Chains A and B, each alone.
Chain A
Amino acid sequence: MNVLVVVCHPDPASFTHAAFTRVIAGLDAGGHETRLTDLYAEEFDPAMSCAERRDHKDPEIGPDLRPYANDLAWAEALVLVHPTWWSGQPAMLKGWIDRVWVAGVAWTMADGDSTPTPLLRNIRRIVVVTTHGSSKFVNALQGEGGKRTVTRSLRGMCSRRARTTWCALYGIDRADSDARAAFLDRVERTLAGL
């Protein structure tokens, strides 16, 4: 499969990047084609500009965003690797969604319509690899906003049969080295079995 992997953490020495390395190892073992996007390393600008907002229903996108859009059109599977902050995607990753998943790339909408028509039917698998500082219980109380954003909003623009996998380490603030190592093994296994 063609797999697009997007990683988001400011620190290249982070646990998120360790997980990213294991994602790649798993995908390589599974014989998949991969394209990799490291949003911080590429200095992606997450804030949508006013001009972009005004034209957000126009299918033309800026040349700086074109490579990101091409990757989405190429992908059959999407893997997001990031920490969960304030119950959702870090701003950097949310900005990638805000700015790249726009009209003409992720959806199209006729005038007067209030529901978009999906354009990323090519994506039939979504995997999220993430870490939560707090426990699963606290995340449930908070409503798992980040998870639902992917499994409901983003997935809605992908294949009708798209499957999502949420591969999460809860309570990382109190996880010991064994729990972290076990999670990294699980990440590699999950991606190898894609």
Chain B
Amino acid sequence: MKNRLFADVGTLSLNKRGEQLCGDMVEIIRKENAELIVVLADGLGSGVKANILSTLTSKIISTMIAAGLSVDECVSTIAATLPVCQKRGVAYSTFTIMRFIENREVEMIQFDNPMVILLRNGKHYDYPVTSRVVEGKTIHETRLTLELNDVFIAMSDGAIYAGVGEVLNYGWQRENIITFIEERYNWTLTAKTITSLISDECNRLYAGRPGDDTTITTVQIRKRKTCNLMIGPPADKKDDAAMLSKFFSEEGKHIVCGGTSSAIAARYLGKEVIPEMDYFDPHIPPTAKIEGVDLVTEGVITISRVLEYARNYLDNNSLFEEWGYHQDGASQIARLLFQEATDVNFYAGRAINSAHQNPDLPITFSIKMRLIEELTECLKKMGKTVTIEYY
């Protein structure tokens, strides 16, 4: 059964200072039937050894859970598989499993990581937990019906030790993280942005030198929203009407990029293009307005900047302060595509703009097509459903 909800995931890890590898590992598996499995594992120690332990743990658990096996079987498999640390004489990795079923229900199984924080309507929600012992390990289990805007924040213990001996005496506790995110939460924030807000704060408390691997993984239940973006007129003028009627018949928001595209879109709608004169950013051409279109921008230059933001979003999201708030065309597109949309449909016209074939200019037809392809890849990595139609 399919509903109109979508589970958005964002994750970030900080490595312990001086370490090349992270001892925390997050595995994310999306299955066909709207099932999402997220496993966060924290291996004993740090560096290579911890990395191997957490990689094995997260891979084994996510694969077995995805195959429908029970948590008991997962735990015994891990116990039998993990290499035993010579120094400490134990094989050990903590884990948090979150399994979202058809965006209706969540099953959480937690072992020795800080307990997942649930925000419901932006406020901390205390969910029921049942504890039992499996292979000598106490695991905490929860089954819960999902609600729109539920936010699940899983973390490794590096998060709650942040600041110990640096800025704070005892680190910041789970309660402090709850207060921190409750104060900053609003429904427009994505899972990745919530993750980066907390992870940045941990890094700040560690004074940029984390004392332990620190991982934050957020899952947010959002409403499915479609955003349609048209860039470039069709190769053959005869296809204008076909492209535009399909584009405007799609539900959701509509973005038109490019001078010629906005001219033909305006003509199709029987409206005028009204350009704005304000440059909010000297590098990004101003936007325009067409009645019936949610956003009208210039093409290639604007989309190049959107792609830059998309790559950064997938990395450490350090440019959020720009695109999250600025009024230029690229920031507005970034907000619509990264924050709002769960489904993105591109309508890419293959017409070659003779003016852009000038060797003096850094924009060519092939660049435009490549930008859209790369942006598509980035959006898919964000977990969005993306389609492209070429005309």
A binds B: no
